[in-house]
Structure 1
């Protein structure tokens, strides 16, 4: 009898133990963790059946943007990455390529065009081809597109460089920088290697992409009829473009038909077009529709600027040239600000200030470093003139 009772006791104990384990496992399977939107450490989620739960303690779900198709549905856009580089840039450039491939292109396998004013060597081709999941193309820039045009007074240009060097204007004494700005302004899209493509994404050595891009950027542009996309905008150094706006106004006076009726002129001018406020899109990151640069309006505009000589008699950059053209020749709805990419080019960071975006896109940046809504940034003006709602959290990281 005692032995039978002992068996019953052991059986009861084992049953109780199994019930307890089942209870613990079931609690573990249904519990979750939330992250407070106010920052701080992770904590167990509160019971959301209570209507008095603090909104900041609710679990953050990954948002789904219906405008952006996730993944590649098989429809490939005629698009490419394009980089202007020299052989010696290869090891700085591979970091940029890795950023693009890891965050975006390993899912989509778009091609990459590399352009150089000299021939690319075998080492550059070998290394970059190994990094890119799409096809790689290597092109040499024609000499006439990377040099002084015949109408430029080289003595006058040299005197300008000397003056800018003495005034310590950034790149003010550089000949190669001026050739680069002129080439990016008027010729990169004309290279034979670019003729097969409709869209491009410009990438430079030393950049970073902070966030996962899980949708096809080029298809997104095509589907939404965007023509120009940017991540950073700020005023240009006035010392480098003293006559750029006056030259532009003369062109517009002679060709008023090229200015779009819904242009974003109010982004680049505070006084109805009398003066230029310097706001420009930082062109070291550009996603664009190549038909913009191939258009009659832009080709004539570039030729007008080129004949004026400001690329050499001053230091006109491709960024203000592209920005002015996009703002004037496009309807404002075709210009797109990327608030979900996360981008860095020394010294400025673009880091999504909306915590939901940062978490869902696995962004590896600190929003405290974000330049987007700081006082010196022109993105504030972009939101204002287009009457756009700023993202959640911008006050915390803006000025």
Structure 2
């Protein structure tokens, strides 16, 4: 048991270190040698995606056919250029050279000429470059800086990685509640979030935006996993407080079973890994999620969160995990509470990797997409995956 706790803390700690998207948070390395030791022992049936054949594009000019009002979204800095080029080239080769959807790049600082020139050589699609308004990015004035500074100092003293980083907290808050409000996104209905240094393994010959539109989906994912509870010790109490005050905003046919094993009394820590999202911008802009985010924002957990929790044998590794409210659990809880459960879609045929985890389509989907990932390296039903909780919604 002590060994399992030790390895769990190491994997989770590295997961947070590796999941940061900006250059100052380091680059990722694979954990496949560890995950091989924890292959799920129980068989699971393959997930049936059920994408109708009529969605698949014909070889001739799919970009001239029916299209959704959609865009790709990159949140990136100038220093992320190498990783952006890697991700964007794959998006183009695997999908967008056929469909030619536009791109929106957002940055807290102006993009350099070099950045703009490099990405524009990769696509014939329209690209817009946006500057994030200062008021949407920086720590808001109403935050008690003395309290926030004390939390940062404690984590820095405890040698928490990026424990003293305000920019990382700004990024989590922006992704949670502001990216969809940017003026460049006002005209769009759907978005596909892409991050630097990710991998897309399979050819995609149908339009996932049209699937979202036609089937009235609001949120799509490829990987789901457990959040480390020490990073969000006060989040669920705030969620329960919001639900109690706003019961009318909670969708009756919701996905609560994905995020809670006891009908909402506690959070099971499951979340969709938000470095990949295909979603409905109007869902985030809607009354329910807007009130939800504003409520959480006033709680200050993006800046105040701090925890004394450690994990026994592995205190040093546990201390490396950054206590903060991230956009992944915030988005996931919002989608689970305010959308119908069948409006959340698992894109089983999109092969995707953000180190250290990957989704590799299985069986006929692997062949159909000409996927180049190893089917044996697939996170879907690993012990630390939450896909089984998603499947249980429809059991």
Give the structure 2 partner of residue 334 of structure 1: 343
Are the equivalent residues in 2 in contact too, given 1:169–1:239 (CA < 8 A)? Answer: no
Among 128, 144, 151, the alignment partner of 1:153 is 144
Q: CA deviation at 1:172?
A: 3.3
Q: CA deviation at 1:336?
A: 0.2
Are the equivalent residues in 1 in contact too, given 2:219–2:277 (CA < 8 A)? Answer: yes
Whether 1:361 aligns to 2:369 is yes
C-alpha distance in 2 between matches for 1:264 and 1:254: 19
Among 134, 153, 171, the alignment partner of 2:125 is 134
- The TM-score with structure 1 as length reference comes to 0.79
| Structure 1 residues 68 and 257: CA distance shift in structure 2, 3 A | farther
Among 197, 207, 228, the alignment partner of 1:216 is 207
Give the structure 2 partner of residue 196 of structure 1: 187
Question: Per chain length, whose mean CA-contact separation is higher, i.e. which structure has more relative contact order (CA < 8 Å, sep 6+)?
Answer: 2
Deviations 1:299-354 (A, max 9, x none): 111111111100000110000000000000000000000111110001101101x2
C-alpha distance in 2 between matches for 1:67 and 1:356: 14
Whether 1:103 aligns to 2:108 is no
Whether 1:322 aligns to 2:331 is yes
Q: CA deviation at 1:364?
A: 0.7
Q: Which runs of 5+ in 2 are unaligned?
A: 1-48, 306-323
Give the structure 2 partner of residue 311 of structure 1: 302
**Pairwise CA RMSD of aligned residues?**
1.5
SS of alignment partner, residue 301 of structure 1:
helix
SS of alignment partner, residue 73 of structure 2:
strand
Deviations 1:56-92 (A, max 9, x none): xxxxxxx995255111361121100001001111111
Deviations 1:347-392 (A, max 9, x none): 101101x2211111100101221111111100111112222xxxxx
Give the structure 2 partner of residue 70 of structure 1: 56
SS of alignment partner, residue 370 of structure 1:
coil
Are the equivalent residues in 2 in contact too, given 1:68–1:220 (CA < 8 A)? Answer: no
Are the equivalent residues in 2 in contact too, given 1:82–1:112 (CA < 8 A)? Answer: yes
SS of alignment partner, residue 149 of structure 1:
coil
Give the structure 1 partner of residue 228 of structure 2: 237
| Structure 1 residues 318 and 68: CA distance shift in structure 2, 3 A | farther
SS of alignment partner, residue 288 of structure 1:
strand
Among 355, 370, 383, the alignment partner of 1:375 is 383
- Residues 292-307 of structure 1: pairs in structure 2 closer than 5 A: 292-307=283-298
| Structure 1 residues 68 and 255: CA distance shift in structure 2, 3 A | farther
